[in-house]
Amino acid sequence: MVILGINYAPEPTGIAPYTTGLAVGLAARGHDVRVLTGVTHYPAWRRAGEPTTFRAEVDADGVRLRRLDHHVPRTGRGWGRAAMELTFGLQAVTTRWHRPEVILCITPPLLATAMAVARARLTPGAPAVGVLVHDLYSRGVVETGALPRPAARGVRTLESAAFRHADSVAVIHDGLRGDLVRELGVERERIRVIRNWNHVPAPDPAASAAFRAARGWSEDELVVLHAGNIGTKQGLENVVAAAELAARDRLSVRFVLLGDGNQRRRIEAAGAGLPTLEILPPVSEADFPSALGAADVLLVNELPGVAQMAVPSKLTSYFTSGKPILAAAEAAGYTAQEMTASGAGVVVPGGRPELLLAEAVRIGADPVLGAEFGAAGRRYATAMLNSEAALDSYEEWIIELARARGRAVGWPSAH
C-alpha cells in the first residue's frame, strides 16, 4: 500500500506522529508500506535543514519512505499554503506508485488528496482509495475566517468531491462523520471512525521535577502549560491577555507556551516583558513528557468560533500525563466534547482571559481536584486511545478496501 501525506517524522506535533505510527505499525505487522511525504517543515513553517535528495527513497523502520520536494511558505495560510499543497500534489501524482492495492490519502493537505483521488479514478486498474480526515478544510476556512464566502464554497465543493469519489473515508472523531454526511454528501456507510491514539509516554516524576528546576519554575508558582502549535486557530492572544491580568494582580502564575508556529513572533511581540508569560521552543521527543509533567495545569486554547474543524492532537498526550486540563473552547465543539467525555478538567469560553485565569488558579489551588482530573484523563486514554486497537481498525479497513476492489488480497490476518 501507499500512504500519501505531507507530514511525517521527525515532525514532532500535529498529524506527523499519527501518520508515522500508522505506517510503522502496519509495516511491523507484515504489510508492504510505501510513504510519499514532504520535507520536514512543521510547526516552524521552515525547512528543517535535513539533506533532501529529489525523490530519494529510504528505508525507515521497515517503511519505504520517499520525500517529495515542495514549496514551504512562511506561514500555513492563504496562497502560500495553496502553493505548498499544489507543488506537493503535483509531485505525488507524477511519481510512480508501483501498483499498490490501496492508496491512503491523509488530509490535510486537501489539494494533494483531491489530485491523488482524481489520478486514481482516471487510471485503469487503479488502487482502492481511502481518505483519512484529520481536519475539515470547509469548516476551518469558515471558523477561522481565512477565506471569503465564495472561496469557502469552492473549498467545500472540492472537499465534497474528493471524499465522495474515494472508496471509503475514515475520520478521527464521530462528530466529523456527521459533518461529512450532512455538509459534504458522503454516504454514512462509507465512513469509518478510527480514533487517534496517545503516542507520548506518561511523565516520570523525577524527570519532570528536574525539568521544572532547570527552567527555574519555583514550587510556589502555578505553571499553566500550552504545548503544541502556535498558530491562528489556537487564538493565543487570549493567553497573553490572561498573563497580563495575572501580572496586574501580582499573582504567582506563569503561562508557558511550548512550541512553534506561524503566529509565534506575533505572540512573542504581544507578550514582551510580561513576567507571567514564557514562550519556549519545542523540546525533544524524549523531554516532552517531562515538560508536561512539570506543569500544574495543561491548557488547550482555541480561537473563538473554532469548534468543529478538528480535534486538537495535544489532548491525547495531555490525557496520559495525569495532569488536570483547562480548555478555553466553544461549548459545542469537539474539544469540549472530549473534555466532557473524559472528565479530565474544565472548559471555559474562548476569548475570556479573566475566566481562563480564574479557573487556572482554582484548579491549581485544589490538589485533590487536580488529582481527580488527572486520574480521569488517564482512564480515558487507556479506554479510548489505545494504539493497538487503532492499528487493528486501520488494518481491517485497509484489507476491506483492497477486497472491495475485487483483488485477491495476500495480506496478513488482522490481529
Read off the pLDDT of residues 190-249 as tens digits, 9 standing for 90 and up.
999 999 999 899 999 999 999 999 999 999 999 999 999 999 889 999 999 999 999 999
Domain 2-197+386-409 shares a fold with domain 205-384: yes
Domain spans, the chain: 2-197+386-409, 205-384
Fold of the domain spanning 2-197+386-409? Rossmann fold (3.40.50)
* CA angle (110, 116, 121) in 5-degree steps: 125
Helix H or strand E encompassing 193 = strand 191-193
Q: Domain 205-384: give its CATH architecture.
A: 3-Layer(aba) Sandwich (3.40)
Read off the pLDDT of residues 7-52 as tens digits, 9 standing for 90 and up.
999 998 889 999 999 999 999 999 999 999 999 999 888 898 765 5
Q: Is the pLDDT confidence value at 410 over 50? A: no
Helix H or strand E encompassing 407 = none
Q: Is the pLDDT confidence value at 415 over 90? A: no
Cα(148)–Cα(78) distance, rounded to whole angstroms? 11
All three cell numbers of 57: 527513497
pTM value? 0.85
Read off the pLDDT of residues 263-305 as tens digits, 9 standing for 90 and up.
999 999 999 999 999 999 999 989 999 999 999 999 999 999 8
All three cell numbers of 97: 506508485
